[in-house]
Amino acid sequence: MENYTLLKVRLYDDPCLREEAKPVKDVGASERLLIQSMIYTMHQMQGIGLAAPQVGISQRIFVIDLGHGPFVFVNPVILKKEGGLAMDEGCLSMPNINVNVVRATKILVKYTDESNQKHERTFENLMARVIQHENDHLNGRLIIDYA
Ligand code: ZN
C-alpha cells in the first residue's frame, strides 16, 4: 500500500453516480492502484464501503472494510438472496442522509478479487447489506431511491 492517492468522493447530484458501471476485463496494475486508492480513501473517510463510481470511475469494483481488513469485489454478481431486514443506511456520497432500506440477510456472490482469483461465497448480515449497497452503486442506484 504505497502508491495510493486520496480520491475525491462524488456527491449525490454527480451524474457518474447514476451510470451503469462497465465490467473490468482484467485486474492489472492500474486496477490494483485504483483499488489501493479506494481502500485508502474509504479508510480516510471512515466509511465501511466504497464503489468505483463514487470516485468518478465507471468500473465494476467496490471495496468493503467492516474493521477486519479490506475485501475487494471486482465484477460482482449476486446469485442468490435470502431473508429481509430493514435498517438505516448512510452513504459517503450522501452525507447526513439516512434511509431505511430492506436488504437480504444472506447472499451468494460471485466475484473476482484484486489478484484475479475468482470466488463464489456466501455472506451474511452486515457484510451482505454492505455488498448489496455497493452493488447498487455499480447499477447507478442510490439509497434515496428506496425512500
Ligand atoms: Zn453508498
Ligand 1 center to 87 CA (angstroms): 14
Closest-CA residue to 48 (of 29, 21, 23, 67): 67
**What's the pTM?**
0.96
**Residues 6+ away with beta carbon under 8 Å from 22:** 58, 59, 60
Q: Examine the pLDDT at 112 and tell me if it is beyond 90.
A: yes
* Catalytic residue ranges: 134
What percent of the chain stands above pLDDT 70? Answer: 98
- Encode pLDDT of 88-110 as tens digits: 999 999 999 999 999 999 999 99
Statement: residue 1 has pLDDT above 80 = no
Residue 4: what pLDDT? 83
CA of 22 to the centre of ligand 1 (A): 18
77 Cβ neighbours under 8 A, 6+ residues apart: 109, 110, 111
